[in-house]
Structure 1
Amino acid sequence: MPPFSPKPAGASGPGAPRLVTAAARLLADAPGLLAAAAAVGLALAVHALVPVLPAMTLAVLLGLLAANLPGVGAWTAGAARPGLDFAGKHLMRAGIVVLGLKVSLVDVLGLGWQALLLITGVVLAAFAGTYAISRLFRLPPRVSLLIATGFSICGASAIGAMAAVRRIRQPETVLPVALVTLCGTLAIGVLPLLVQPLGLSPEVFGAWAGASVHDVGQVVATAQTAGASALAVAVVVKLTRVILLAPMVAAAGLHHRRSADDGAALPPVVPLFVVGFVALAALRSTGWLPLPVLDAAAVLQDLLLGMALFGLGSAVRVGALLHTGARALLAALASWLLIAVLGLAAAALMFPAR
Structure 2
Amino acid sequence: MVQFSPAQTLPARLTRRGGDVLPGVLLTGGIALISTGIGTVVPVLGSAVPAIVIGVLLSLVRGRMLERDESGTGFARLDGRLQPGIQYSGKFLLQLAVVLLGAQLSLTSIAEVGLESLPVMLTTLAVCLVAAWALGRMLRIEGRLTTLIGVGTGICGASAIAAVAPVIGAVGAEVAYAVSTIFLFNILAVILFPLLGHALNLDPHTFGLLTGTAVNDTSSVVAAASVYSTAALGFAVVVKLVRTLMIIPISIGLSVIEAWKHDDGKPMNAKRIAKLVPWFLIGFLIVAVVNSTGIIPDGPRDVLVQASVFLIAMALAGIGLSTDIPALRRAGLRPLLLGAILWILVTTTALLTIWATQGLG
TM-score (norm 2): 0.82
- What residue in structure 2 maps to residue 34 of structure 1? 26
Query: How far 1:57 sits from its partner (Å)?
Result: 2.5
Greater helix share, 1 or 2? 2
Q: Equivalent residue for 2:122?
A: 120
Shift of the 81–184 alpha-carbon distance from structure 1 to 2, 3 Å rule, reads farther
Could you list the runs of 5+ residues in structure 2 that have no partner in the other structure?
A: 67-76, 267-271
* Aligned amino acid, residue 36 of structure 1: T
Per-residue CA shift, 1:308-354, capped at 9, x if unaligned? 12222333455642342321122122222222222333455566346
SS of the residue 1:268 aligns to? helix
Q: Which runs of 5+ in 1 are unaligned?
A: 1-12
Q: Is this contact kept in 2: 1:47–1:55, CA < 8 A?
A: yes
CA–CA distance in structure 2, aligned partners of residues 273 and 70 of structure 1: 31
For the 8 Å contact 1:89–1:160, the answer to whether it is kept is: no
Per-residue deviation, 1:24: 4.6
Given the alignment, which residue of 30, 35, 39 partners 1:47? 39
Match of 1:345 among 352, 356, 361: 352
Aligned pair partner of 1:310 in 298, 317, 321 = 317
2:151 aligned residue (126, 149, 152): 149
Give the residue type in structure 1 aligned to 2:139.
F
Alignment of 1:322 with 2:329, yes or no, is yes
Deviations 1:278-305 (A, max 9, x none): 1111112222221111111112112211
Return the offset for 1:141: 2.2
Q: How far, CA to CA, are the matches of 2:182 and 2:143 in structure 1?
A: 17
State the Cα distance separating 1:246 from its structure 2 match: 0.8
How much identity, in percent, do the aligned residues show?
30
Amino acid aligned to 1:48: T
Equivalent residues of 1:67, 1:73 under 8 A apart = no
Q: RMSD of the alignment, in Å?
A: 3.1
Select between 243-252 and 224-233 the one with higher mean Cα deviation: 224-233
Does the alignment pair 1:104 with 2:91? no
Deviations 1:50-87 (A, max 9, x none): 33332223222322333335788759976533322211
Q: In 2, Cα distance between the equivalents of 1:272 and 1:44?
A: 27
Distance 2:106 2:64 in 1: 41
Q: 2:131 and 2:105 mapped to 1: Cα distance?
A: 26
Q: 1:138 aligns with which of 137, 140, 143?
A: 140
Instruction: Give 1:94 shift.
Output: 0.4
Deviation at 1:251, TM superposition (A): 2.2
State the alpha-carbon separation in 2 of the partners of residues 167 and 70 from structure 1: 24
Q: Structure 1 pair 30/183, CA: closer, same or farther in 2 (3 Å)?
A: farther
Describe the shift of the 1:336–1:78 C-alpha distance in structure 2 as closer, same or farther (beyond 3 A): farther
Does the 8 Å CA contact 1:89/1:308 hold for their aligned counterparts? yes
Range with greater deviation from structure 2 (328-337 or 89-98)? 328-337
Q: Normalization by structure 1: what TM-score?
A: 0.83
